[in-house]
């Protein structure tokens, strides 16, 4: 894997050691012992750790001259622990809480974040929101960070809470304190009292972060240029390009909720195309940070497999106990989970993901947070996740990449445009050229429709008429019937799509599936059937559901439905089966097939001249209530998974890391083999000497 941080290749096993600690417990931090503390880390095979310099309560954990040191701490926690870690080869980052700080909030009313009416946030909270545009930054944050940079044996900073509202951006999070009013009046001539647009609010939030990060980087340059900067949230789509450029490490807290164990895969398949080094973060806790529960070891190993199998590094959140000690069973669990990583990380570090299908995420303006300006503000949580889930479950090699960071589209054999349509004009022009030069471009639903017009109609060989709209209270349902070549595993009946569909006509394209209209829009009491999802008309409509068109040397495929959003919402398997068949029909070069259930994820990497096929197994227990997280208490291996990998030659097929050869055949550019067993992850290496 290519990393910006030189030592990141040796840091696949990370712990984020929370130490938010109030001062009232009498036993607080009384039993801290640096050597015992680091003994646990070493036993747990930890390669990098974030250690607290200052917590949300405003307590510092080192001998600070400018801040407030935790009253229960006699030693210098940061110094002793970081030095002990360094002696044992463990990298460290100094954790510092920026915009959540109870003590600063209590003692300095003019440092508080304020909303437009002057309301603050913190009086009845465990911690308060403070503003980085106030003297809080100059009098406390910068001097403390400088103390650490000058005097502490750490490898960098881990900065938390970049803006007061955490990941939330927009007018509700924008600070209106006197310092902010003065700042934006001076810099931009903006009067906050008069109100700003949601877009401007996000620009101001981004500018705030860019400006303080620039100051922090300057301070690092002056003190210890080796230090790296990690900032929470920066791994995600809710930051802009400049903020990403100002950090080496971008964190993404992707711990599963409910039974959503693909959340890490989505983070890594996106983050491996980002400009920061991704820190994929989960927790050892069952639900929440600091709740001091411990998830089963097989659950944590599954999460680790999901992250490293896709090329990511793992960070696991823990919390120091009230008395300053760690819980030994946590490090027994980590020893197993991180031991699993340790045996495989050298291969992953040297491997690079093979690019085939790229889901190209729209970025309308790279000065704004990447998700800003999208008509659907939850696109990243719904539509993009739906596309990722559908492709991963189809065992199709997929990357997720921001359009603003992709300089050369010709390196992507297939590009899929999820919704919404928010590509700048230059990206639209590059997509036309991409198809002309031989690329395969797939658009769905409204991914090219904006302002009532379909961009690239000529490329797709269709004409757009309108979105289908139904009179209320009709329940949206449309039916489609695929052509035999793209029916795949779907049942031979009219297939339902319970979501938005679009009316287009052919203008040179070939139809691959037809729309069948409902018998009637469901409007009780007169026009009703047993189900609100009206049966399909027997006759096909004049409108295609899916089309393919040759343009230049390439192909353009259109699916006239919000199929990714619908799949995320419904999990209707026929939608995935149809898209699986459709994509393989239009692109016979998709690099592998895996005869396995949808709970096996595949990721293909190149390893020098070899190929590495990672097969990740998610054996998830039943889902309970919405708040519950499905446990993974035991994982029984699956057996005999037949695979095909396209390649031009192969000399041996070997299971890693054990190095055991397995039988294979090679015929017509396809290598076939059967993976005997997958417990958490199989790594199959196709040696091509
Ligand atoms: Zn402010």
Residues 223 and 184 in one domain: yes
Condensed to tens digits (0 to 9), the pLDDT of residues 653-683 reads 999 999 999 999 999 999 999 999 999 999 9
Would residue 608 be called left, alpha or beta, if left means φ above 0 and alpha means ψ between -120 and 50 degrees?
Answer: left
Distance, CA 205 to ligand 1 centroid (Å)?
10
- Residue 381 shares a structural domain with residue 486: yes
Regarding whether 598 and 586 lie in a shared domain, the answer is: no
Question: What is the rounded CA–CA span in Å between residue 614 and residue 670?
Answer: 17
**Gap from CA of 543 to ligand 1 centroid (Å):** 54
Our CA angle for 678, 683, 684, nearest 5°, is 105
Average pLDDT, the chain: 95
Pair (327, 405) in one structural domain: no
- Tell whether 292 and 379 lie within a shared domain: no
Task: Please indicate, yes or no, whether residues 553 and 605 belong to a single structural domain of this protein.
Answer: no
Give 220 Cα–ligand 1 centroid separation in angstroms.
24
**Is residue 143 over pLDDT 90?**
yes
Neighbours of ion ligand 1 (CB under 5 A): 131, 133, 175, 177, 180
Residue 178 Cα, ligand 1 centroid: separation in angstroms? 7
Ligand 1 center to 196 CA (angstroms) = 15
Instruction: Answer whether residue 1 is part of any domain.
Output: no
Task: Please tell me the distance from the alpha carbon of residue 132 to that of residue 98, in angstroms, as a whole number.
Answer: 8
Same domain, 298 and 376: no
Tell me the CA–centroid distance for residue 548 and ligand 1, in Å: 53
**Statement to judge: residues 384 and 304 lie in one domain:** no
Distance (Å) from CA 111 to ligand 1 centroid: 7
pLDDT bucket at 169, cuts 50 / 70 / 90: low
CA of 112 to the centre of ligand 1 (A): 7
- Domain end: 285, 317, 349, which one? 349
Verify that 301 and 381 share a domain, yes or no: no
**Cα separation of the two ends of the chain:** 21
What is residue 627's predicted lDDT score, i.e. its pLDDT? 82
Percent of the chain with pLDDT over 90: 91
Q: What is the CATH number of the domain that holds 648?
A: 2.60.40.1180
Contacts of 381 (CB under 8 A, 6+ apart): none
Separation of 132 CA from ligand 1 center, angstroms? 7
pLDDT for res 166 = 54
Q: How far is the CA of 124 from the centre of ligand 1 (A)?
A: 20
For residue range 342-372, what is the model confidence (pLDDT) as tens digits? 999 999 999 999 999 999 999 999 999 998 8
| Same domain membership, residue 389 and residue 523 | yes
Residue 19 included in any domain? yes
pLDDT over 90 (residue 172): no
- What is the pLDDT, as a whole number, of residue 639? 98
Domain boundary among 590, 606, 626: 590
What CATH number does residue 388 fall under? Answer: 3.40.50.880
pTM of the model: 0.97
The pair of structure tokens assigned to 321 is 């106990």
Residue 185 CA to ligand 1 center (angstroms) comes to: 13
- Domain that includes residue 675, residue range: 594-687
Domain identity same for 134 and 235? yes
Q: Do 49 and 138 fall into the same domain?
A: yes
What SS3 class is residue 652?
Answer: strand
Tell me: the pLDDT tens digits for 302-329? 999 999 999 999 999 999 999 999 999 9
pLDDT in tens, 606-615: 999 999 999 9
Residue 171: inside a domain:
yes
Q: How confident is the model at residue 472 (pLDDT cuts 50, 70, 90)?
A: confident
Residue 543 has pLDDT above 80, yes or no: yes
> Tens digits of per-residue pLDDT, 585-608?
999 999 999 999 999 999 999 999
pLDDT of the residue at 299 = 97
Query: What does the pLDDT read at residue 528?
Result: 85
pLDDT at 423 over 80: yes
* DSSP output for 374-430: -SSTTTTTTHHHHHHHHHHHTT--EEEEEGGG-S-GGG-SEEEE-S-----HHHHHH
Residue 10 lies in a domain: yes
Residue that terminates a domain, selected from 317, 349, 381: 349
613 CA distance to ligand 1 middle (Å): 50
């Amino acid at each position: 894997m290519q990393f910006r941080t030189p030592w990141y290749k040796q840091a696949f096993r990370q712990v984020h050691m929370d130490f938010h600690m109030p001062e009232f417990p009498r036993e607080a931090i009384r039993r801290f012992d640096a050597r015992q503390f680091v003994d646990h880390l070493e036993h747990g095979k930890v390669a990098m750790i974030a250690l607290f310099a200052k917590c949300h309560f405003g307590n510092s954990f080192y001998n600070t001259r400018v801040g407030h040191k935790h009253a229960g701490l006699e030693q210098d926690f940061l110094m002793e622990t970081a030095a002990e870690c360094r002696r044992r080869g463990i990298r460290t980052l100094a954790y510092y809480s920026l915009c959540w700080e109870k003590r600063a909030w209590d003692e300095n009313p003019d440092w508080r974040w304020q909303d437009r009416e002057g309301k603050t946030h913190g009086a009845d909270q465990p911690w308060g929101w403070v503003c980085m545009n106030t003297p809080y930054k100059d009098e406390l944050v910068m001097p403390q960070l400088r103390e650490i940079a000058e005097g502490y044996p750490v490898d960098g900073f881990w900065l938390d809470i970049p803006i007061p509202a955490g990941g939330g951006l927009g007018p509700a999070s924008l600070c209106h304190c006197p310092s902010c009013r003065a700042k934006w009046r001076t810099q931009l001539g903006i009067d906050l009292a008069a109100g700003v647009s949601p877009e401007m609010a996000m620009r101001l939030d981004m500018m705030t972060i860019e400006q303080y990060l620039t100051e922090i980087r300057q301070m690092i340059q002056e003190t210890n240029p080796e230090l790296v900067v990690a900032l929470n949230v920066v791994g995600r789509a809710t930051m802009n390009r400049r903020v990403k450029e100002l950090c080496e490490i971008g964190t993404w807290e992707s711990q599963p909720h409910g039974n959503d164990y693909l959340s890490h895969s989505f983070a890594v398949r996106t983050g491996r195309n980002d400009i920061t080094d991704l820190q994929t973060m989960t927790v050892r806790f069952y639900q929440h940070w600091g709740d001091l529960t411990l998830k089963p070891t097989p659950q944590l190993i599954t999460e680790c497999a999901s992250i490293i199998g896709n090329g990511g590094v793992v960070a696991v959140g823990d919390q120091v106990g009230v008395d300053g000690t760690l819980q030994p069973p946590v490090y027994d669990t980590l020893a197993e989970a991180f031991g699993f990583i340790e045996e495989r990380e050298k291969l992953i570090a040297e491997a690079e993901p093979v690019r085939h299908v790229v889901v190209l995420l729209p970025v309308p303006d790279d000065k704004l947070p990447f998700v800003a300006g999208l008509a659907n503000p939850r696109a990243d949580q719904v539509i993009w996740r739906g596309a990722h889930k559908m492709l991963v479950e189809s065992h199709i090699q997929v990357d997720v990449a921001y359009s603003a960071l992709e300089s050369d589209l010709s390196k992507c054999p297939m590009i899929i445009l999820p919704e919404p349509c928010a590509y700048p004009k230059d990206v639209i022009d590059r997509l036309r050229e991409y198809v002309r030069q031989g690329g395969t471009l797939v658009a769905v639903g409204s991914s090219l429709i904006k302002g009532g017009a379909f961009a690239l109609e000529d490329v797709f060989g269709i004409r757009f008429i309108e979105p289908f709209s139904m009179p209320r209270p009709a329940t949206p349902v449309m039916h489609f019937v695929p052509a035999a070549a793209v029916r795949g595993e779907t049942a031979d009946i009219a297939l339902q799509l319970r979501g938005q569909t679009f009316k287009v006509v052919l203008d040179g394209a070939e139809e691959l599936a037809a729309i069948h209209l409902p018998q009637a829009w469901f409007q009780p009491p007169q026009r009703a059937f047993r189900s609100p999802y009206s049966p399909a008309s027997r006759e096909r409509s004049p409108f295609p559901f899916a089309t393919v068109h040759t343009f230049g040397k390439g192909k353009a495929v259109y699916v006239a439905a919000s199929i990714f959003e619908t799949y995320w919402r419904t999990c209707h398997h026929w939608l995935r089966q149809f898209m699986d068949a459709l994509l393989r029909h239009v692109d016979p070069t998709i690099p592998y097939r895996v005869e396995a259930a949808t709970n096996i994820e595949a990721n293909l990497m190149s390893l020098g001249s070899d190929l590495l096929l990672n097969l990740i197994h998610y054996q998830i227990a039943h889902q309970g209530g919405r708040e519950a997280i499905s446990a993974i208490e035991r994982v029984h291996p699956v057996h005999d998974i037949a695979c095909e990998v396209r390649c031009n030659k192969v000399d041996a097929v070997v299971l890693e890391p054990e190095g055991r050869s397995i039988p294979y055949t090679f015929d017509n550019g396809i290598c076939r083999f059967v993976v005997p067993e997958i417990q958490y992850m199989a790594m199959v290496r196709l040696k091509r000497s």
